[in-house]
Amino acid sequence: MSNSMTRVASTAPARAKTRIQQENEARILQAALEVFSEKGFHGATLDRIAGAADMSKPNLLYYFKSKEEIHIALLTDLLDIWLAPLREISPQGSPATEIGSYIRRKLESSREFPRESRLFANEILAGAPHIAGFLQTELKQLVDEKAAILQSWIDDGQLAPCDPRHLLFAIWSTTQHYADFSVQVRHVLGLVPGDVSYYDEAARMLETLFLGRLVAPGTEG
């Protein structure tokens, strides 16, 4: 899971990690994801993370030399999960199949990685101090690339005229909403805390919205 090498100086030869190192780092990252995604960066404490990792605080700081370093490691790991569904959009397919499967992948990612989604949302809300570069370069570049595909479908008349990047924003916001605002969703629907049964209905809603037609034609006021 961890592709983060932030602790290793780039010039030093990367010493292979022992099994214990790998296990402990993984345990710390798991615990930190839990706490950071629930409390935010400033609301999380090393004490709590260490407790969740069943480890002493100094021992935790033996593996990561600061709270921020753990946070950055998590964010770094996150970006691949975040980008993966978008990368798969192909110019070969039709708008209906490509957009449809993109929404399904993104919604599935929301269901499978709600903590990662909330960690990401917290970071953006805080002004994206650690991933501003990623947003401006990698993400922007990928969005531009995929937006060009959508634009070609618009030019073909297969897709309604719109700014393709805003279409992506709409897909991101609606799918991530079910992870980031799950508490609100559950309260409004009258569900108990752990219940995520709303995802099936969410999938139907988003398919109607993005691939079908919501308001019947010829019924304007």
Partner DNA sequence: GTCTATAATACGATAGAC
Partner DNA sequence: GTCTATCGTATTATAGAC
Site of interaction with DNA (CB under 7 A): 17-18, 20-21, 24, 44-47, 55-59, 61-62, 65-68
CA distance 7 to 180: 30
CA distance 219 to 216: 6
Considering the rule CB under 8 A, would residue 192 count as an interface residue with a second copy? no
Dihedral over Cα of 72, 77, 81, 84: its sign:
positive
**Which is closer to a second copy, CB of 60 or CB of 206?**
206
Residues 128-167 that bind a second copy (CB under 8 A): 128, 132, 135-136, 139-140, 143, 157-163, 165-167
Measured between its terminal Cα atoms, the distance across the chain in Å is 54
**Which is closer to DNA, CB of 55 or CB of 86?**
55
- Three-state SS at 161: coil
Residues 90-129 that bind a second copy (CB under 8 A): 93-97, 99, 118, 121-122, 124-128
The least CB distance from residue 18 to DNA, in Å, is 4
CA distance 126 to 120: 10
The least CB distance from residue 84 to a second copy, in Å, is 17
**At residue 44, what is the residue type?**
A
Using alpha carbons only, give the angle 65, 66, 71 rounded to the nearest 5 degrees. 120
Spell out, one character per residue from 36 to 75, where the chain touches a second copy: x when CB under 8 A holds, - when not.
--xxxxxx--------------------------------
The least CB distance from residue 177 to a second copy, in Å, is 4
Select from a second copy, DNA, none the partner in contact with residue 77, using the beta carbon and a kind-dependent cut-off of 5 to 8 Å: none
Considering the rule CB under 8 A, would residue 9 count as an interface residue with a second copy? no
Q: How many residues can be counted in the chain?
A: 221
Say if residues 53 and 60 touch (Cβ distance below 8 Å): yes
